[in-house]
Structure 1
Amino acid sequence: MFLSNLAVVIATSMVLVQCHDCKDYDLSASEQSFLMKHYLHTSRNGEGLSTGKPAGSGVTYVRWGKKGCPKGVEMVYTGQAGGNQYTNKGGGVNYLCLPNDPENGQPISDGNDQLFGAEYEIESSNKPSGMKSDMRQKEVSCAVCYQRKKSTILMIPGRKTCYNGWTNEYTGYIMSDYKTHSNKDYVCVDKDAEPVDNKNEDENGALFYPINTKCGSLRCPPYKNTVAVHCVICTK
């Protein structure tokens, strides 16, 4: 109610200010009311405080495994995945999408090396259906994408389609580091994943392994045992 009254006062003030030189035309109360209502009505046609919507909106997400974004989605930057070395016991546990044009800091020598590149650890024994078979020990690409006119993003594990009312950004498979290595996030790697380049040296760093299910506390059905885990990125 306070905001509504404030809007009325501001609109009325604008009408009066804009007409302070109109000495030949003294606006009556009804005329002022009409102009004020017209101002409020036309201002609501745009974005901003009058509609309760932000002037700019959208969501960002990382598309793991790809150098670009889906068609119609703006790319903020492209780069390579990175993170903590798989043998490190402390420090960061999340993967990072590192831009290809970094602004590097000054040298330090405290031995706290935590930012490494990331490699795919995908081979015939653990390759999810449909993914390329020559990805092992190649570096992981990524892109940060900006989806306009959306306000929510959701990664759904165990599915390859979004629920009704949601937009599919991309589908893939859940990956993380190996279970006996240091902890890492679960991320959704694009089903059509590609490497940064054609190098395949065993340099390690942060590693991407496909994961599989284990029945027991995980109820089967509806799940199945020792299968790859689909994922989908959805926006709304």
Structure 2
Amino acid sequence: MQSLLFSTSSTFIILLLSFWRLDASEKRLLLTDPDVVQSLQNELHALRSKVQQLESSQNNAVSENAALKSKLTRLEDELANLRHNGVPAVSSYIIWGRKTCPQVNGTMLLYSGLIAGKIYSEKGSGVNTLCLPHDPDPAPSDFPISIHGGYFSNIWGAEYQFNYRQIAIDDDPPCAVCQVQRSTTIMIPAKRNCPAGWVKDYTGMLLGAWDHEYASDYICLDENPEFFEGTRSHNDDGRTLYPVRARCGSLPCPPYVNNHYISCVVCSQ
């Protein structure tokens, strides 16, 4: 901006000197000539306007920068306050064999359902066990009923394949999806207690597929399992549930014991 003012002043001085150096034989330009004065005034006014615009732009830039810095500081303070006060984190887990969630502080039932998965005799379909809700929504209305080639996957309900406490073989098992006000949940096989600092949500027994069936995942059945009333006389198989035993060899014994069943615990923190 200073260079611009210097350039403007220099131009004005040179213009004045040029007036004085006019040859005497030529028509003199007098500074009192109204046209000359008006021309110079117009030029000075234009230069002043340009200088003011530059100063205004600079001030606006400074103001905008200050506003952005203020907003950044405010957001950083809000984030620090949230971290200090602690935003409650949540996670979820499935309790297998129960219709409701455990009575643990900060635990809420998201939905209850029925255990389902692949039938024991199928190679394909999903390997993982699911907790299907009691009120399913239909597939999109435009989804084709007939699939090209006739290839599809299946999902079946589940059945207990052992007697234990209040359940019997072929009973249909329930499940429940639970939300906890803790950020992490984990199922630990072969344990009945949680690590220090963790909350015990429930303990139980590890279940899987029979070793002569096609594979499925391992799940932790609550130690006080329930069943759906009216299912005791039905033998539909589907996703069959068996207790899991330890087999020594590559699994060290001790500490494990050959053919002993494996416990489990679900913990959160």
One-letter identity of the residue aligned with 2:264:
C
SS at match of 1:44: helix
Whether 2:177 is the aligned partner of 1:119: answer no
Aligned to 2:193: 161
Whether 2:108 is the aligned partner of 1:87: answer no
Whether 2:255 is the aligned partner of 1:222: answer yes
**Residues 152, 134 of structure 1: CA spacing in aligned structure 2 closer, same or farther, 3 A cutoff?**
closer
Report if the CA contact (8 A) 2:166-2:226 is conserved: no
- 1:11-26 correspondence runs (5 A): 12-13=70-71
Q: 2:217 aligns with which of 185, 205, 216?
A: 185
- Distance in 1 (CA, whole Å) between partners of 2:138 and 2:86 is 34
**Residues 54, 101 of structure 1: CA spacing in aligned structure 2 closer, same or farther, 3 A cutoff?**
farther
Aligned to 1:76: 110
One-letter identity of the residue aligned with 1:145:
C
**CA apart distance, 1:217:** 1.2
**CA apart distance, 1:140:** 1.1
Identity of aligned residues (%): 33
**Residues 9, 81 of structure 1: CA spacing in aligned structure 2 closer, same or farther, 3 A cutoff?**
farther
Normalization by structure 1: what TM-score? Answer: 0.74
Aligned to 1:17: none
> Which consecutive residues of structure 1, in runs of 5 or more, have no partner in the other structure?
1-7, 15-35, 124-130
**Residues 104, 135 of structure 1: CA spacing in aligned structure 2 closer, same or farther, 3 A cutoff?**
farther
Report if the CA contact (8 A) 1:120-1:139 is conserved: yes
Whether 2:187 is the aligned partner of 1:151: answer no
SS at match of 2:70: helix
- Distance in 2 (CA, whole Å) between partners of 1:195 and 1:43 is 47
Report if the CA contact (8 A) 1:11-1:40 is conserved: no
- Distance in 2 (CA, whole Å) between partners of 1:195 and 1:224 is 30
For 1:69-118, what per-residue CA distance to the aligned partner results, in whole angstroms no more than 9, with x for missing partners? 01131011000000011100112111100001110226735363511101
**CA apart distance, 1:41:** 5.4
SS at match of 2:136: coil
If asked which structure has higher relative contact order (CA below 8 Å, sep 6+), I would say 1
One-letter identity of the residue aligned with 1:119:
E
> Which consecutive residues of structure 2, in runs of 5 or more, have no partner in the other structure?
1-65
Whether 2:257 is the aligned partner of 1:199: answer no
Normalization by structure 2: what TM-score? Answer: 0.66
Aligned length: 195
- 1:29-68 correspondence runs (5 A): 44-45=80-81, 47=82, 51=83, 57-68=89-100
SS at match of 1:117: strand
**CA apart distance, 1:199:** 1.2
**CA apart distance, 1:53:** 9.4
**Residues 43, 112 of structure 1: CA spacing in aligned structure 2 closer, same or farther, 3 A cutoff?**
closer
- Distance in 2 (CA, whole Å) between partners of 1:40 and 1:112 is 52
Report if the CA contact (8 A) 2:125-2:155 is conserved: no
- Distance in 1 (CA, whole Å) between partners of 2:79 and 2:167 is 57
Report if the CA contact (8 A) 1:139-1:195 is conserved: yes
**Residues 137, 55 of structure 1: CA spacing in aligned structure 2 closer, same or farther, 3 A cutoff?**
same
Structure 1 vs Structure 2 CA RMSD:
2.6
Aligned to 1:25: none
